[in-house]
Amino acid sequence: MTVVRRFLYSKKIAPYVFILPFVLTFAVFFIYPLASTIRMSFQDILPGQVQWVGLSNYKRLLGDKVFGQAVFNSVRYMLITCALLIPFPMLFAYMISSKSMKSAGFFKSLYFVPVLTSVVVAGLVFRMMFSELPGALMNSIRGLFGQSPIYWMKNEYSSLLALILLCCWRWTGMNMLYFMAGMKAIPNELYEAAEIDGANTVRKFTNVTWPLLKPTTIYVLTISIYAGLAMFTESYMVFGNNTSPHNYGLTIVGYLYRYGFEKLRMGYASAVGLALLVGAMVINVAQLYITGAVGSRRTKI
């Protein structure tokens, strides 16, 4: 018992005991699946049949025009959502955090309620809103201006509009809370000093709030890039399935789902998943370097 007690109460052993649950979880749920995916990407896997094919899956991937369309759709969606879900939530957070803002709690709840909504329910609601029926919400709005109903989900740009609106509706409140948390860490003395110097609300935002929110902005940008590239459920629910007209709603994850679970080509789907992982990592590392969060351009904030 003495040896066991010494082992358990050892200051050298204790740190490893505390991090052991994380290490095991990381190894079981990330390292092992990643290693298995890498191995499977070099195989052609069919029900009851496994064949080593080398780089054939990757060669097929590079020459597949449908995959290229999926990459284009995902990257375009990611760029638009990042351009909308960073400045507007930041502005809303600044307005709600202002001392002159009335009913701030009400607006916080109003913006955050969509976050609690199931993506399945939200997707069904937006599908009905953008339905081709004359009585659908968006066609009814067109009718107010004397316009005839259109097939929203069969047009490239109108279907993209539906996905963008759904994303902004669901995640504006979450990103707003991130920025509000970042603003809480800004000392009030800086705002008081700015007021003494004669700065108005706009100048205080541009010269105090915005620069000091850089760490929060980088975090929100990082998760927005990942969310944009990994989008699937929203498209699936808005279009009603994983097959959209002319692949307007097909994303990288949707393409992976098509071959992995619909066509049961797990080897090819594994190659798609690795391509998505590498692409997301490259984009995020690049933006972290450009913003100065990592690398030689890193600056103290």
pLDDT tens digit string along 140-166? 999 888 888 889 998 999 999 999 999
Q: Is residue 187 part of a domain?
A: yes
Answer for the pair 119, 202: CB distance below 8 angstroms, yes or no. Answer: no
Residue 207 DSSP symbol: I
Query: Does some domain include residue 16?
Result: no
In a domain, 48, yes or no: no
Residue 258: inside a domain:
yes
Domain span at residue 81 reads 61-290
Report pLDDT for 228. Answer: 93
* Domain contains 224: yes
What integer pLDDT is reported at residue 18 of this predicted model?
82
For CA atoms 133, 134, 136, 142, give the dihedral sign.
positive
CATH number, domain with residue 103: 1.10.3720.10
Please indicate, yes or no, if residue 27 is contained in any of the structural domains. Answer: no
Number of domain units in the chain: 1
Place of tokens 């780089």: 55
Residue 47, pLDDT score: 77
pLDDT at 1: 54
Q: 54 lies in a domain?
A: no
Tokens of 79: 């760029």
Question: Quick one: pLDDT at residue 111?
Answer: 86
| Tokens coding 177 | 């809370």
Give the pLDDT of residue 250.
93
**What's the pLDDT at 301?**
44
Q: What is the pLDDT of residue 46?
A: 80
Q: pLDDT under 50 in the chain at which residues?
A: 298-301
Q: Taking phi first (over 0 means left), then psi (-120 to 50 degrees means alpha), and beta for anything else, what does residue 17 get?
A: alpha
* Structural domain includes residue 100: yes
Q: How far is CA 137 from CA 4, 114, 239, 243, 297, in A?
A: 69, 19, 16, 24, 49
What three-state secondary structure class fits 133? coil
Whole-number pLDDT of residue 133: 87
